[in-house]
A = this chain, B = another copy of it.
Amino acid sequence: MPQSHAIPKAAVLRLSLYLREATELQEKGVATISSSRLAKLLGLTDAQVRKDLAYFGQFGHPGVGYHVVDLIRELKRILGTDRMWDVVLVGAGNLGRALAAYQGFQRQGFRIVGIFDVAPAKVGTRLGELAVQPMGELADTVARTGSRIAILCVPPDQAQKVADQAVAAGIRAILNFAPASLTVPSHVVENSVDLAIRLEQLSFQLRQTSEKPEG
């Protein structure tokens, strides 16, 4: 049973890093891993790794470490990726098409089951095994496949409208790549990735380290 204290949001983010690292270690044939070694691989402290994992149970072995196979199984169970998730994608522009083809999603248990776009010119074009569908078919596809997750790759001025359509279609989680703030009902979870902001943050950090950026 988990501890009765609140789980830090940042801890859950690190679980994904532990899973990624553990998977790589498994592929290399490593059987056990200690908190200190895992921490070093990720640039964290050993205590943090142990505390993060202990929020969710006790699956380490004193004197030994964590069995990589067990660690992976537990992390997948906690994160909910011990199953396949069907995902729909809205916006078949450059980014949308690249994400539709992204192998990393499949590998982590996410399968794109539908791609949608408003532009008639894009509808019908093929992307791997899927063809771009018109927005009108979104609700049908969500209902038929039971998808709970949508990825949004639409222009920022259309993002809110498309998010509303997705929610109306039964979507419960949105990964938003549009540089815009979304408002969603409380039963829907939303997560935004603003690519330009990531560069902006680097720009800020460059200023900090070398006070003279010049040109």
| Chain B: CB-nearest residue to A94 | B98
Residue among A97, A175, A183, A189 with the highest chain B CB neighbour number at 10 A: A189
| Total identical chains | 2
A203-B97 CB under 8 A given contacts A41-B181, A181-B21: no
A204-B12 CB under 8 A given contacts A199-B149, A209-B187: yes
Interface-facing stretch out of A57-65, A80-88, A135-143: A80-88
CA distance A39 to B194 in the complex (A): 18
> Looking at chain A, what size class is its interface with the partner chain?
35 or more
Q: When the two chains form the complex, which single residue of B41, B43, B201 contacts A16, counting CB atoms closer than 8 Å? A: B201
Residues of chain B lying within 8 A (CB to CB) of residue A197: 13, 16-17, 20, 108
Cβ of A200 within 8 Å of any chain B Cβ, yes or no, is yes
Interface-facing stretch out of A45-53, A66-74, A99-107, A118-126: A99-107
A201-B12 CB under 8 A given contacts A206-B80, A213-B80, A215-B146: yes
> Are the CB atoms of B175 and A198 closer together than 8 Å?
yes
A198-B191 CB under 8 A given contacts A94-B98, A98-B98: yes
Residues of chain B lying within 8 A (CB to CB) of residue A172: 206, 209-210
A20-B180, A102-B196 known, 6 other contacts, Cβ within 8 Å: A79-B204, A94-B97, A108-B199, A149-B202, A175-B198, A191-B202
Q: Which residues of A contact B (CB under 8 A)?
A: 12-13, 15-17, 19-21, 24, 41-43, 78-81, 83, 85, 87, 94-95, 97-99, 101-102, 104-105, 107-110, 146, 148-149, 151, 156, 172-175, 179-181, 183, 187, 189, 191, 193-207, 209-210, 213, 215
Interchain residue pairs with CB less than 8 A apart (12): A16-B197, A16-B200, A80-B200, A81-B200, A83-B213, A94-B101, A94-B102, A102-B196, A110-B196, A173-B203, A189-B202, A189-B206
